[in-house]
Chains A and B, each alone.
Chain A
Amino acid sequence: MKGSSVLLIGLAALMLAGCQPKEPIRIGFAGGITGANASVALSGRDAVLLAVEEVNRAGGIKGRPVELVIKDDQESPAVAAEVERAFLKEGVPAVIGHYVSGVAFSALEAIEGENLLMLSPTISTAQLSGLDDQFIRVIPTNEDQGRILGQYARKTAGNATACVIYSVGNEVFVDGVKSAFRQHFESLGGQVLLEEAVPPKLPEAMAAALERGALAGVDAYLLVMNANDVVIFSQLRAKTGYAADVYSATWGMTSDVLFQGGSTVEGIVFPAPFDSSSRKPEYQVFSEKYQKFCGNSPDFSAVYSYEAARVLFGAIEKAPEYTAEAVKRSLLNGGPYQGLQSELTFTDAGDIRRPLFLVKVNKGSFETIGAGE
């Protein structure tokens, strides 16, 4: 009798325990979701939310639901460090983010040696390449962007002279693009006549830089700035009527460019980290879902953020425990992963190699015009 009572109580306790909701797996998201460049992080956030919705509908990770903890770094290095410290305090071991290279170093400094892994969809500074640290990314380096634009401008478009206009405040990204552009453009016989620094959101300074380029007679501009500044440049250029080819780093390639720039951004060439005209089924399905979810086509940040989330979910699933180190080992040893358009293979240092495409704005859409060499 005594024994059967104990058994019954034990069974009841087990049943009750089974009814308890499972502890969620908390994953962080960090990006500048307010401010002038918010569109990059916002489309990234929405893509990650979509990935979370999907994984939860499919039963979660190891049977546990995924909970996304979203924090705004305001694209400020100081705030980014605060955000990371907050994640550490809350016991979140993996974060998708940040979104601009300018905040990467302070964020990484804040988590050095701590239980936190950062998986960035868009930070591309080459200064973080080849380091065995707590940083992994799904985007190729910024130098690749400068290289393929420099080669295209000189070899394909036949530009002889160029003016580089770049944003102040994100030097770790900007420097890599403009120096690679100069190196490859000039090695093929072109000449970069001017480099103009412009503070963000300052149309007067942009107008002055544009005019200096026109006075120097350049036949190409390279823009290394966010989408809003690309729009300001393009609107001003349309007003003044200066004729020149325009190239922009991927940073400026968001749906906002099309929405705000309209006909003034027609013809701009970007190095795109994905092929927007891809017919790959995985990409088509994602693109359709994202469109339904967010009302517009996915941009590079959305594609890479979604891929980053899926890679992270897979790594957590296979990791023996949910700690930064275990997830990092699982992620780096578990590949290659199926991306939306190609396989994703990480180096031992958490960098990635993948093709870049060239994309041109044509009739209000991004049209793939070729693959980078």
Chain B
Amino acid sequence: MVAPKWRLRFTTAMLLLLALAIVMPGLVGMGVLGIRLRSTVMERAEDKYHSLLETAAVRIDSFFEEPVSVMGLIIALSNKAQDPQRFVRTQLSEAAQRIGFDRVGVIDGTGRIIHLWPQGDAFEGFNLDGRDYAGRLSSKESYFWSDSYIDPVTGSAMVDLVMKEGSEYVFGSASIARLQGVFDAVAVPPGCLLGIVDGNGNYIIHSAPQKALLREKDPIHMRLAVGQDMEAPYVIDGERYVGFGPNWKACLGMWPCTTRLRKP
């Protein structure tokens, strides 16, 4: 006996529905699980990268601590300088060479340079009151790193480390190109970018050196400046990154520090 066609079709349709009813929840469950799993994997990867970057940041901190200690010593010695020429010849030159600065000097309360290494430098006798070291150094801080600037004599981009002693200031000037040397000592996690920006949003150092040497503006700083949230995807040289910004303790103690994390 042959079943009528409609019955066959009905049975097939019912079987299909039954199969779907069984399989669908499984498929949906697997989909949800997949999304959660992916999200967890990404979070873990981000945590891992974040932690690696923080380790790198601590090392960068140490790199920048040495100049601060050496300059502190100069301050202590400058008080005892009986012979300014000898002071310049010995202490300042030794300190500059040790910390790899291009220029180290002492300025008086009016901004005028009173001791300078290297001797014969065009800056001798210049007045740096326009840099407003006094205004920048609050009573709570013992030192600060300046924003980057173009040196009028060499034309290089530089930053200053400034410390105060009494009514005088000791400053050390380092070129941005020289500061890039930090990355000889600090390993940047693969696929990540690491940089420090100054108060104007220009890179002082960057793991992609050209970005610092061309004084590129940091996109996180730019977003913050126009009142946007820093947490956003960034496309840099064709790659997508997630930004971490000022909430991360800055390497240099007083400026926002920028790291970027590439999504896996």
Q: Which of A's residues lie within 8 Å of B, judged by CB?
A: 33-39, 42, 45-46, 49-50, 53-54, 57, 72, 201, 203, 227-229, 231-232, 235, 238-239, 256, 258-265, 289, 292-296, 364
Contacts and interface: CB of A to CB of B under 8 A. Distances in A.
Contacts, number: 91
B154 A42 contact: no
Give the size range of B's interface with the partner.
Answer: 20 to 34
Interface residue SS majority, chain A: helix
Contacts of B149: 256, 259-260
Interface of B: 111, 122, 125-131, 147, 149-155, 157, 199-201, 213-215, 217, 222, 225-226
Contacts of B122: 203, 232
A35 B155 contact: yes
B218 to A, nearest CB: 11
Given A53-B226, A231-B152, A232-B153, A33 B214 contact: yes
B116 to A, nearest CB: 13
B152 A49 contact: no
A293 B222 contact: yes
B155 A228 contact: yes
A262 B130 contact: yes
A46 B150 contact: no
B55 to A, nearest CB: 30
18 contacts: A33-B214, A34-B157, A37-B155, A38-B157, A42-B215, A72-B214, A201-B155, A229-B152, A232-B153, A262-B128, A263-B111, A263-B127, A264-B127, A265-B130, A289-B226, A293-B225, A293-B226, A294-B201
A294 B200 CA distance: 5
A260 B201 contact: no
A2 B147 CA distance: 68
Contacts of A72: 214
A36 B155 CA distance: 4
Nearest to A206: B122
B214 A34 contact: yes
Given A36-B155, A260-B149, A263-B111, A235 B126 contact: yes
B178 to A, nearest CB: 15
Nearest to A71: B214
A240 to B, nearest CB: 10
